[in-house]
Amino acid sequence: MPDDHQSDGAASQGGGASAGGALKRLYEGLGYLGGLILAVMTAAVFLQVVMRYFGSAIDGIDEVPRYLFVWLVMIGAAAAMYRGEHTVLDYFVNRLSLRLRAFVLAMTTVAGIAFFAWLIKLSLVLVPNAQLQTSPGLDLPLGYVYAAIPVGAVLIILPMIRSLVATLRTLWTGRIQRTDDRWQRTE
């Protein structure tokens, strides 16, 4: 997989280096946001357990971790996609030549982009309809919960496009090598 995100300045000429740096900061921030969401979820569950132990409960507190979990999954998936840390089943792909591996990577990336674009398209109907419903405990419009799908899909597509461009660039130039389980362009 192209490891383009670690060499933002070297990979781009002109104004691309600052755009790569901004993208890197965005996805690092997503990692911190995911950690904050996880902390809030943990605190809500802990508070609910303590309150039930003492015989009282806060209405709707059990909905907080449930609804934040959707955001956590999408934000975490986007951060993992940027870092190239998603699980990959590459046993058969590793048996291919380097050029064919790059081609397979490009095709699977295109399929992934198409899938997440399809999720965005579906959410154009889902999110407005969900906004008309409210949660029973918090009385929160559910559109805020379902908005995690299109937002996360966009955040996942951005590094996929970047990976696709890097992969296609290596295919077009023909200068490709693999070291330490990562694709790199040769100079």
Least confident window among 102-106, 111-115, 130-134: 102-106
Model confidence pLDDT, tens digit, residues 26-61: 999 999 999 999 999 999 999 999 998 888 888 889
Q: Pick from 124, 120, 145, 159: which is nearest to 30 by CA?
A: 159
**Binning pLDDT at 50, 70 and 90, where does residue 134 land?**
very high
**Binning pLDDT at 50, 70 and 90, where does residue 10 land?**
very low
Whether the per-residue pLDDT at 133 is higher than 80: the answer is yes
Domain coordinates of the chain in residue numbers?
Answer: 4-185
Residue 110 is predicted with a pLDDT of 96
Whether the per-residue pLDDT at 16 is higher than 60: the answer is no
Residue 154 tokens, joined: 């966009």
What lies within 8 Å, CB to CB, of 79 at 6+ separation is 27, 30, 31, 34
Residue 2 is predicted with a pLDDT of 44
Distance between CA 99 and CA 174 in Å, rounded?
8
Burial label, 81 (beta-carbon count in 10 A; 0-12, 13-18, 19+)? buried
Model confidence pLDDT, tens digit, residues 76-94: 999 999 998 887 888 888 8
Distance between CA 139 and CA 159 in Å, rounded?
35
Whether the per-residue pLDDT at 183 is higher than 80: the answer is no
Q: Is the pTM of this model over 0.95?
A: no
